[in-house]
Structure 1
Amino acid sequence: MRTISDKQGLTLKAATRRSVDMAGGGDAFQHVTRIRSAQLSKCGSTGEENAEKFLPIDVAVEADIEAGLPIILSAMADIVGYRVTPIVECADLSVALAPPTHRDLVRLNSDLMDVVRAVGDALDDDHVDGREKKEITREIDEAIKALQALQQRIGGAA
């Protein structure tokens, strides 16, 4: 009997889909990993025929690296009762971080407004369907990336 539940397996598959999507989609991501697009799709599929197909751990790491966020890693950590937090190393003074610019603020504002737009569009009919949930999640992931980039530009967390 497997240790992870069906629900946890679905969580991993959802994280796989999000990470691969944030990595540019299967067609793009396949060129920077060892698995082709069709296999990537099967690893994210919730269909009965693909229930036991998951990303190998090295490909999961590559997906998260390409996505710019620890999406799969965070899902795995949550399943085993942990949280993932970023490591911001400020000790290396040989690498000078450029201070944030107005361009960074414009990008952040745009990413945050994309979240607001996606949620607003979803609420127009008082129901958030699967497609809308996926869009909202993608926009939130993009906003998180922008916020983390800004945090790094100011030298990390206080």
Structure 2
Amino acid sequence: MRTISDKQGLTLKAATRRSLDQAGGGDAFQHVTRVKANALSSYASANDEKADKFIPVDVAVECDIEANSPIIASAMAAMLGFKLVPLDGSDDHRQPVSARDALKIAREASEVVRAIDEATQDDVIDASERKDINREIDDLIKALQCVQRRVGGGA
């Protein structure tokens, strides 16, 4: 019997999908990893016939590197009850929060609004538009988490 639930499996699939999107998509990412685009698509697919196909750990790390964000690693850590913190010496919480941070958050939020507005012009959100919206949401989340760390909050 598996230890992770179906919901957790779907969480991993969603994180894989978001990381792949930020890494440029399967067609581009396949050239910097050992797995081809069709397999990458299976790892991100929530379809029942692909439910047992998950991204290998080495490919997940490469994907997060290409995405420039630990999307899959963060999902795994959260499932285990942990959170990731940067080790690169960029101690965000030592820098005071400023108006510049507020402007960055506003700019990122406006990009989310723009992506949603463009996607809903025809009342249908296609795969490419969904990818754009999720990329903008991820950028906004990163900006918010940066400020949250610096004011002593969670993330």
TM-score by length of 2: 0.71
- The structure 1 segments of at least 4 consecutive aligned residues displaced by more than 6 Å after TM superposition are 106-109, 121-124, 129-133
Higher CA-based Rg: 1
Matched-pair contact (CA < 8 Å) for 2:64–2:73: yes
Please give the alpha-carbon distance, in whole angstroms, between the structure 2 residues aligned to 1:121 and 1:90.
35
How much has 1:51 moved relative to structure 2? 0.8
Q: CA deviation at 1:122?
A: 7.8
What is the match of residue 22 of structure 1?
A: 22
* Distance in 2, Cα, partners of 1:17 & 1:119: 19
Are 1:138 and 2:130 matched, yes or no?
no
Query: Does the CA contact (< 8 Å) of 2:15 and 2:72 recur in 1?
Result: yes
Task: List runs of 5+ in structure 1 lacking aligned partners.
Answer: 92-101
Q: Structure 1 residue 110: deviation in Å?
A: 4.8
| Alpha-carbon distance change, 130 to 27 in structure 1, aligned in 2, over 3 angstroms | closer
Deviation at 1:47, TM superposition (A): 1.3
The answer for the alignment partner of 1:51 in structure 2 is 51
| 1:4-153 matches, cutoff 5 A | 4-89=4-89, 110-118=107-115, 135-144=132-141, 147=143
Instruction: Letter of the 2:5 partner, please give it.
Output: S
Q: Residues 52 and 111 of structure 1: is their aligned pair in 2 closer, same or farther, counting only changes over 3 Å? A: same
Could you tell me whether the CA contact under 8 Å between 1:88 and 1:157 is conserved in 2? no
Matched AA of 1:75: A
> How many residues align structurally?
139
2:95 corresponds in structure 1 to none
Gaps of 5+ in 2: 92-99
Q: Deviations over 1:60-100 (max 9, x none)?
A: 00000000111001110111111112234169xxxxxxxxx
Amino acid at match of 2:58: D
Alignment-mate amino acid for residue 139 of structure 2: E
CA contact (8 A) 1:19 1:63 kept: yes
Structure 1 residue identity aligned to 2:36: R
* Residues 82/45 of structure 1: CA separation in 2 closer, same or farther (3 Å cut): same
Please, what is the CA RMSD of the aligned residues?
3.5
Give the alignment's TM-score, normalised by structure 1.
Answer: 0.69
